[in-house]
Structure 1
């Protein structure tokens, strides 16, 4: 009952401000203020204010929000700690052999697969120096 009264008073005040604005010949602004002023009355008439005020003043609802907040904090914290423990490299901690899923190069032959011939070795010493400088 109190929430409906407050919404009605806010709407009445908004309509008064809109009337003064229209009197000053600022009709576009007055129409916008009228639209905002009618929102609280619309919420009262649809029953949204009663539902919201009933929800806000129940302790069980606030306990539920607290439990949801605690769950969110736990999920975010454990995710951050997991990333820190892994080293931020994106690897999963349970991966035993990361190269095990790579396709075989030998065409199904048993034993070690032959290494492919690579291009002549290039001089990467300057790149290595930069990486070492940054601790990578």
Structure 2
């Protein structure tokens, strides 16, 4: 009996907040608040609140809620992993096939880019062995300084 009263009071307060929000010309937010406010009232009217009041002391019911929570966590985590990977396996294969079709349609005679190890001729050539420096290894610096009058 008290649960129904509390839910009805919460619904009335929520509808009041929605009315104030609509008065401020924020109709989208007002509709959202009204939707949330009507949920407890709907639960009271369908009898869910009575059912919850009867099952609150039941350990089997709480174990069932725990199992439902674990199931929800499994669904949510697998969906998060699918999003990270780019969708389900079927969606990824369809996307790969579509990408291949687009690639073939754009340039059907073009060759695929090489994905192997690139070779650089300059990087593979050994550096020439430098001759031992003489005492005038600062000659280029001296030339620069003389050029600037220092």
- TM-score, normalised relative to structure 1: 0.44
Whose helix proportion is higher, 1 or 2? 2
- TM-score, normalised relative to structure 2: 0.40
